[in-house]
Structure 1
Amino acid sequence: MNAAQELDQDALHNSEALPTRRPHPVIIAASVTARGGLLWLPVAGLMALSGREKAAKRALSAAAVAMPLGHLVSLVVHRRRPPAASIPARAALPEHPDSSSFPSKHAVTAAAFGTATALAAPEAAVVVLPLVLLVAYSRLRTRVHWPTDVLGGLAIGALVALGQSALKRG
């Protein structure tokens, strides 16, 4: 078993980081509101209202590119979701996804939005990046993804935002 498989298997065990009991409502809300990238619309609105319109536009455009890219990758990489449908952590979500687990599209979109924000308005990233991490954790905590799905999603989203930034400079 390689290191990635060990990390994924360890995630199924009950631990302080990923208990099997029902998650806190904030964790559930983060997962639910981030579906389809909806969480990032009001966040971008608040950024724009605070005078960071350019950063908000870049963050939304990075997320808009990253989300379909994540869906394309999942069409190529068919991976089963963790077998956790019967545990309270998984049952807490109103959704019961059965699409390919890799990558986490929530993480892809969140990382693209967060990375673009950090590049365009580092002061706004202080607020946005904890939300990115909360969304990523929520996908693990509710057992809808393996850790490598979330890590892969974060990497893809960050790369999209970095690529977007390079194109804007170039």
Structure 2
Amino acid sequence: MIALSRSTSKGQVWMGVAAILVASGGNARRGAVRGAVVLGASTLVASRLLKPLFPRNRPPENAIPGTRRFGASPTTPSFPSAHSALAAAFATGVAIESPLAGYLIAPLAAAVAYSRVHTGVHWPSDVVAGGVVGVSVALLTRRLWSADSAAVE
């Protein structure tokens, strides 16, 4: 869980998954593009807008057994979980264009969200709020960019 949690910092895992989807072509390629766009948008909403508004402290480091501990807690506010927002946004963005690819990615997104609680860097409510932010941002893109008219050559 620690490795999974660290590997998703700054969206690296999601960009790797996007590269695989781009290579797949068709709806999966369009999903990768939408997923990459919503990564940036959900980062702005979660990290730049909401974290400063809700400067919640992270769980105490001594509350998590040493084998599960992430290490030194991040210094940014806990609420909402930006990792969870990115995971939910990417999976939802992909699913808008390619439901099958979205369903295949959803377990990875859920594992990322769970890893943030498991490693002690977020409260469960941080992860739920991050998920809501991510899904909302992805769904909002449908108002600006119709799935029917999305075309990537």
TM-score (norm 1): 0.79
CA distance in 2, matches of 1:138, 1:113: 17
CA distance in 2, matches of 1:150, 1:134: 11
How far apart are residue 89 of structure 1 and its match?
4.7
Find out whether 1:65 has 2:63 as its counterpart.
Answer: no
Find out whether 1:129 has 2:98 as its counterpart.
Answer: no
How far apart are residue 78 of structure 1 and its match?
0.7
CA distance in 1, matches of 2:11, 2:71: 17
Is the 8 Å Cα contact of residues 89 and 141 (structure 1) preserved in structure 2? no
**Among 92, 98, 115, which residue is 2:75 paired with?**
98
CA distance in 1, matches of 2:56, 2:29: 38
Give the residue type in structure 1 aligned to 2:13. Answer: L
Structure 1: runs of 5 or more not aligned: 1-26
Residue 87 of structure 1 aligns with which residue?
65
For residues 59-118 of structure 1, the C-alpha deviation after alignment (integer angstroms, 9 at most, x for no partner) is 010111101211121011010001134631553x25531210000000011111011111
Give the residue type in structure 2 aligned to 1:48. Answer: V
**Among 146, 150, 158, which residue is 2:123 paired with?**
146
Find out whether 1:41 has 2:18 as its counterpart.
Answer: no
CA distance in 2, matches of 1:59, 1:31: 19
Partner SS state of residue 97, structure 1: coil
Find out whether 1:168 has 2:148 as its counterpart.
Answer: no
Find out whether 1:28 has 2:6 as its counterpart.
Answer: no
CA distance in 2, matches of 1:165, 1:94: 39
Residue 55 of structure 2 aligns with which residue?
78
CA distance in 1, matches of 2:45, 2:103: 26
Q: How many residue pairs get matched?
A: 143
Give the residue type in structure 1 aligned to 2:4. Answer: A
How far apart are residue 166 of structure 1 and its match?
2.0
CA distance in 2, matches of 1:94, 1:82: 12
Between 1:45-54 and 1:104-113, the stretch displaced more is 45-54
CA distance in 1, matches of 2:136, 2:67: 30
Residue 156 of structure 1 aligns with which residue?
133
Which consecutive segments of 4 or more residues in structure 1 shift more than 3 A? Answer: none
